[in-house]
Structure 1
């Protein structure tokens, strides 16, 4: 019968999820549940005393509490930090009492959220830092929501801009107040509690806000303790951005005008277009010219397009090949491309590239190119005279 009791007692200590122990009157651990062995590590297996496991700062209080326990007839509760298997001291609450024969002590330990003085000092410092940030950052609103979306913190200098005071919405349920408005703006407030960070840029109360919803974590580091939201007034930044966009659009329009003025396409004769180019011709400018000229040829149904390079002093190595491509494209549209006024240094660049310019129609200057185009069109328009025998002369009367 006694063996059965010992077996049940052993099974109880092995299976009980609580941190149970049996200690001697001097505080040495005689028996420990498997849960306690796992929590404290090898020390619980080697019969260490609670005083040896206690944090040095807690040993005096533990000795005083143990003295009360040994002398008392009922249970005694106290708190102590015990060293675990990793060497860290875990805050625990102990509830114990002396056995009826006063030979041993039965006790249980539970994890506690007791905060040390150092931890409390660090927490207060963090709180002061947070308050300082909120109090001194202009155009900012910060609020905290618990897991039920009830506001427990509502501060920030930006509140005055929307007609609210410090702590104005503390105690209010965010879903009840803002859920409908948020959905209209495409914001799902319920998604803020999914454990991930959310960011929105929207307009509320006539102000543009950059809003961050950040999950709060519990003591185990898991999300679910609520959400802290930080919202920045970016109305001024939006205004500057809009002005910059307007300025960029104006600059782009001006650049288009400048490009059009720098490469004007002139219809100098019916069916003859000329494109006088001046200054330095680069690849970007040549590409713009190609698009504009080809479109104009189609629009005007032109038969000749003259590229006047008289005013061009320098071209880069890619421009010569672009000119060949442009003339080829003009030919594909059913027109003829003529290059006029090539300077000696430009000609040398084109020759040095080794390009095939046998099909390139070049003229000395713009006047020669116009004469060529007009003569060609005149010949094409002249009526063809079919060869036929001369009529026979009538005999004189």
Structure 2
């Protein structure tokens, strides 16, 4: 008599080297093939929950995959680490589908996950060593990584202690809970848009220069993590502020020196003089123009004397500025006088080919003052002559 088909199928299942199983809809292993018992232990198939064999970190993913299986008739595949008979967790690829004849039964198979190539494993270990070395030795830096939900999965670095924290203190905690006062969910999701970001921020009593780099599980895939590199720049910020203060002080001192080197003096009522000493450059000439024109308007001066007695050298641009300054003085209703021009300065001004016919020049400051006083005296005399004579008193 031929053996019954069910008996033959049972014997085939028991002797199969493949990792096959039948489970309940709740996830309990009811029957396991010979290969499965050899791989995971003889107790497999006696109602052991599959979740009890899974690595604790993989149980949530296993539960999600199993729930998806119960909601569809399509096969479901997932990766999971299962504990073998020696207590070692082995990476497995699992494929499951619901039985069409018994809806409370699940048919499944396991196969070892593809082993990582030796060179790839060496590369991964090298990258891990590099990351740990950077975190351990580069000062002052903190390296941190967020998963897809904004949970810290890595938080190390020499700057962690400087911020009053312990290495790994944030791991397993949400960045939204830790920084609820300064960040919300919408801001966090912007970090997962694939853009590299850099910015400055203040936290834990320190100033930070932050780099945010998107992470992907596979090239071209979606962003499922964020790498953060934070540099404590508090010391450099202090140096930067001190340097800025010093530069401001130097600028203020230079302004005082320039003001002292080009004082605008009211030597007579309506007569201003500007003695210029040393090297005259374009910047200094521009500042002189602004100051002198403002002083003319303020004092309602009639004459402004530019005393170049102490100036040895001017360049072509400065000579052009001086002529423009005299023209601007005339536009304000005053007379601009240039006194004390040295021979080499005069040659420079002539070489420019500028129109010097309307330029009022005097030999020295004394001559310029005499010219201004005489001109003012003549103007006052003409004003008196033009005014009507007072009426004579009638004869007694």
TM-score, normalised relative to structure 1: 0.68
Partner of 1:114: 115
SS of aligned partner of 2:285 = helix
- Label 1:211 to 1:283 Cα distance change in 2 as closer, same or farther (>3 A): same
- Label 1:387 to 1:234 Cα distance change in 2 as closer, same or farther (>3 A): closer
- Label 1:94 to 1:150 Cα distance change in 2 as closer, same or farther (>3 A): closer
SS of aligned partner of 1:314 = coil
Contact in 2 for aligned 1:179/1:189 (Cα 8 Å): no
Aligned partners of 1:127, 1:231: CA distance in 2, in Å?
18
* Cα deviation, residue 368, structure 1: 0.8
Superposed, 1:14-163 pairs within 5 Å as 74=16, 76=18, 114-163=115-164
Aligned partners of 1:377, 1:220: CA distance in 2, in Å?
87
- Label 1:125 to 1:363 Cα distance change in 2 as closer, same or farther (>3 A): same
- Label 1:255 to 1:366 Cα distance change in 2 as closer, same or farther (>3 A): same
Q: Does 1:306 align with 2:305?
A: yes
* Cα deviation, residue 189, structure 1: 2.4
Aligned partners of 2:368, 2:194: CA distance in 1, in Å?
75
Superposed, 1:196-275 pairs within 5 Å as 196-275=195-274
* Cα deviation, residue 207, structure 1: 0.5
Partner of 1:366: 365
Contact in 2 for aligned 1:215/1:223 (Cα 8 Å): no
* Cα deviation, residue 172, structure 1: 0.7
Contact in 1 for aligned 2:212/2:226 (Cα 8 Å): yes
Aligned partners of 1:305, 1:120: CA distance in 2, in Å?
85
* Cα deviation, residue 353, structure 1: 1.8
Question: Runs of 5+ in structure 1 lacking a partner?
Answer: 1-71, 79-92, 96-107
Aligned partners of 2:331, 2:258: CA distance in 1, in Å?
25
Question: Runs of 5+ in structure 2 lacking a partner?
Answer: 1-13, 20-34, 36-92, 96-108
Deviations 1:357-395 (A, max 9, x none): 11111111101110111111112122116799xx9xx9x
- Label 1:152 to 1:359 Cα distance change in 2 as closer, same or farther (>3 A): same
Partner of 1:175: 176
Aligned partners of 1:113, 1:367: CA distance in 2, in Å?
101
Aligned partners of 2:387, 2:131: CA distance in 1, in Å?
102
Contact in 1 for aligned 2:164/2:204 (Cα 8 Å): no
- Label 1:370 to 1:212 Cα distance change in 2 as closer, same or farther (>3 A): same
- Label 1:261 to 1:111 Cα distance change in 2 as closer, same or farther (>3 A): farther
Aligned partners of 1:334, 1:386: CA distance in 2, in Å?
22
Aligned partners of 1:230, 1:315: CA distance in 2, in Å?
54
Cα root mean square deviation, aligned: 2.9
SS of aligned partner of 1:214 = strand
TM-score, normalised relative to structure 2: 0.68
Deviations 1:229-256 (A, max 9, x none): 1111000010000011001100100110
4+ residue runs over 3 A deviation: 72-78, 110-114, 385-388
Aligned partners of 1:298, 1:387: CA distance in 2, in Å?
31
